[in-house]
Amino acid sequence: MPAAIEIRGLTKYYGRTRGVEDLDLEVEEGEIFGFTGPNGAGKTTTIRTLLGLVRPTSGSVSVFGRPVPRGGGPWLAEVGYLPSEVAYYPDMTGQELLDYAAGFYRGVDRRWVAQLVERLQLDLSRPVRTYSLGNRKKLGIVQALVHRPRLLILDEPSSGLDPLIRAELFAILREVNAAGTTIFFSTHVLDEVDRLCHRVAMIRAGRLLQVAPVDDLPGRHMKIVTLRLAGGAPLPEALLARLGDPRPEPVPGKPGTYRLVVRAPVQELVAALAPVPLEDLTIGDPGIEDVFLTLYRVPDAVEGRP
């Protein structure tokens, strides 16, 4: 079975500006694949290339085994796309826009569309120009899903959504994925990657930094240590040296308390802490945010390919 998405050596320059450089990525059918990176990393460029909206400077991109031609092609009927910013004809109502979108596909299940509208609490009677940012986003999500696409490409789907609607969106995404839809999901919200995605790719400055199962990211083995020394004493240099630069940061509102990101083995951590007079100590697993910050900060882990 061909990969849902196969990107080989993709490079895109806009004049002299780098969009992405020598990017390799493969997404299997059935995955929920997260795509994340700082502003300007090249996420939207990659997505637009997948849709044939941007022509690569070099390299190749294929979807379900078919090379993506410029401007897309008939197979785009299998793809649903939510751009990061949706723009619609302002005087059409939400209903008219969904009817228009549904008209591009054969056999749209109207009951399914009505369910989506209800679950996302969308009022279709009003002209789109009166929609809030979040309502535009909801309309974009429904429009991307009207035809139950085989591949769903979402660029920042949850920005502008309130927490309840975001939770409903995630429930919908899990359901369509369970029914067979592959999801390619670009986001800055790392917690969403953690909750939703099977694998994640991180890019920075146009280059791939890491691709890994979400539960298995390098750095997941780190420990987050929060400690307070007796009498609020400063952290001993010897401890920091032994823990290999754990980047201590004072915990706001808690004088004398520090938060450390420790990559040393647990045994070494315990041994290093043993002689230190502690008043308080917690040792926990890193959130995905800690993992990413560490990866983005470590220069030698950045430029090389995994």
Ligand X SMILES: Nc1ncnc2c1ncn2[C@@H]1O[C@H](COP(=O)(O)OP(=O)(O)OP(=O)(O)O)[C@@H](O)[C@H]1O
Q: Which CB, 15 or 277, lies closer to ligand X?
A: 15
3-state secondary structure of 12: strand
Give the type of residue at 53. L
Question: How far is CA 67 from each of CA 62, 118, 129, 209, rounded to the nearest angstrom?
Answer: 4, 37, 37, 25
Cβ neighbours of 219 (radius 10 Å): 19
Stretch 25-64: interaction string toward ligand X, x if CB under 6 A: ------------x-xxxxxxx-------------------
For ligand X, give the closer residue by CB, 57 or 84.
84
Which residue, 108 or 205, is less far from ligand X as judged by CB?
Answer: 205
Contact 278, 227 (CB under 8 A): yes
User: Which lies closer to ligand X via its Cβ, residue 42 or residue 149?
Assistant: 42
CB nearer to ligand X: give 40 or 248: 40
Residue 168 CB, nearest distance to ligand X (Å)? 24
Map residues 70-89 to x or -, x wherever contact with ligand X holds by CB under 6 A: --------------x-----
| Per rule CB under 6 A, count of chain residues that contact ligand X | 12
Helix axes 163-178, 133-145, angle to 10 degrees: 10
| Residue 133 CB, nearest approach to ligand X (Å) | 16
Our finding on whether 14 is near ligand X (CB under 6 A) is yes
Instruction: Read off φ and ψ for residue 39, nearest 5 degrees.
Output: -55, 140
Q: Please list every residue from 231 through 260 that binds ligand X, using CB under 6 A.
A: none
Q: Which residues of 283-296 are buried (b: 16+ CB within 10 A; e: fewer)?
A: eeebebebbbbbbb
**In the complex, what is the shortest distance from the CB of residue 45 to ligand X, in angstroms, rounded to a whole number?**
3
Q: How far apart are the first and last CA of the chain?
A: 24
259/275 Cα distance (integer angstroms) = 18
String of contacts with ligand X for each residue 132-171, x by CB under 6 A: ----------------------------------------
Cα–Cα distance between 303 and 59 in angstroms, integer? 19
Could you list the residues that contact ligand X (CB under 6 A)?
Answer: 14, 17, 19, 37, 39-45, 84
